[in-house]
Amino acid sequence: MTRALVLLVFGFFLLGCVTSAPSNGPTASPTSLVSATPIPTQDDAGPTPYASVYPSYEPAPAYDAPPWISGSSARPSNPDRGEPFVITASAQDDVGIQTISWESTDSFSIQPESASFDCGQQKSCSASFTFKAATEGMITISVYATDSSGKASPRSAMDITVRPFDYKEPTPTPAPSVSSGPVCGNNACDEKEGFEVCPVDCPYAGFACANGKCEGGESYESCPQDCGLSDIIGSSCGDGACEPGEDANYCPKDCASIKPNCGNNVCDAWETESTCLADCEGVGADAASCSSNAACGYREICRSGKCVKVDCTNDGQCGYGKECEGNRCVRCPSGPYGPAC
């Protein structure tokens, strides 16, 4: 009896705990769990329940760049007043060009009836406009393009010089004729002049003894103050050039009448092989043309644009006791043991 009573009291206690427990919300019954919304499948008709979660976006419209003038010209660019001239303009656009137009604040005797040319939405278009200027001077015409969306290109301005009516180009005054040859008596010693042909323009001061320099016309005998015995070494009497160490007594053929240009290694226009062998030896009409010594042959040098024969071009072409100086073989100075070369 007592045991049964205890079990009955314990049962009522448990029942009271269950009914008094706090609730956090409705309790899902097994039935409600089974009846939950099913996961959609590809076989279900109609929009999926996820369409409202991810809204769709329209793509941004492509950027429409304004057109541009790719070229413009005026022909002729300097018309006479009343002479027709044509303005040509070319334009491009990424979508399509509506019109090419012109504008100007100047007045014209003839101008296009329309200020615009219809390009028909072409991406590349060219237009020409014909004018006649009513006034002389500088006029300005600008051209621009407009696309289908109404965007306009920057203005391309052209400046046109309008000349007087029936303008004639001035006849240029011919330059005074200049003689191609030297002019003796103009107080200028030209390239093709020398003392021998024009002493007025190309005076020769001559040599001066006792100036410390051995010059052509002086020798160790006539001017020992300037020249020594060694100065005669290397000179070639009879070649037309009065060289340092030679004088009128030692070599009258060269120094009785001194030719200052003879001996400068250039066969001048007035020199020949007979008058100046030193410069014109081997120079003739049949001599080979040259611009450097490399173009000439053995024992030849380039002189005055011609290959001429010489004694030597290096010391090896001269004999014992001689060396090549000025393309001539000359004796070497003597030393205690023989030639010093």
For the chain, the residue count is 341
Q: 97 forms bridges with which residues in the sheet?
A: 122, 147
Tokens matching residue 340: 């010093």
pLDDT score of 72 more than 80: yes
Q: How far is 331 from 308, CA to CA, in rounded Å? A: 23
Question: What CATH number was assigned to the domain covering residues 68-162?
Answer: 2.60.40.10
Q: Tokens for 102, please give them.
A: 């012109």
Q: Could you report the per-residue pLDDT of 182-213, keeping only the tens digit for each?
A: 688 888 887 777 777 788 888 877 788 888 88
DSSP state, residue 80: B
pLDDT higher at 134 or 97:
97
- Percentage, residues of the chain above pLDDT 90: 17
d(CA 140, CA 138): 7
The rounded distance, in Å, linking the Cα atoms of 70 and 122 is: 14
pLDDT over 70 for what percent of the chain?
72
Nearest CA among 251, 41, 229, 66 for reference residue 153: 66
What would the two tokens of residue 196 be?
Answer: 């021998």
Query: Is pLDDT at 35 greater than 50 in this prediction?
Result: no
Any idea which of 53-57, 121-125, 282-286 has the lowest mean pLDDT?
53-57
Torsion angle (degrees, nearest 10) of CA 305, 311, 316, 320: -160
pLDDT tier, 125 (very low <50, low <70, confident <90, very high otherwise): very high
* Sequence spans of domains, the chain: 68-162
DSSP 289: B
- In three-state form (DSSP H/G/I as H, E/B as E, the rest C), the secondary structure along 125-186 is EEEEEEEEECCCEEEEEEEEEEECCCCECCCEEEEEEEECCCCCCCCCCCCCCCCCCCCCCC
Query: Can you list the alpha helix ranges (DSSP code H) found in the chain?
Result: 2-19, 30-34, 252-255, 277-280
Nearest to residue 104, comparing CAs of 156, 67, 151? 156
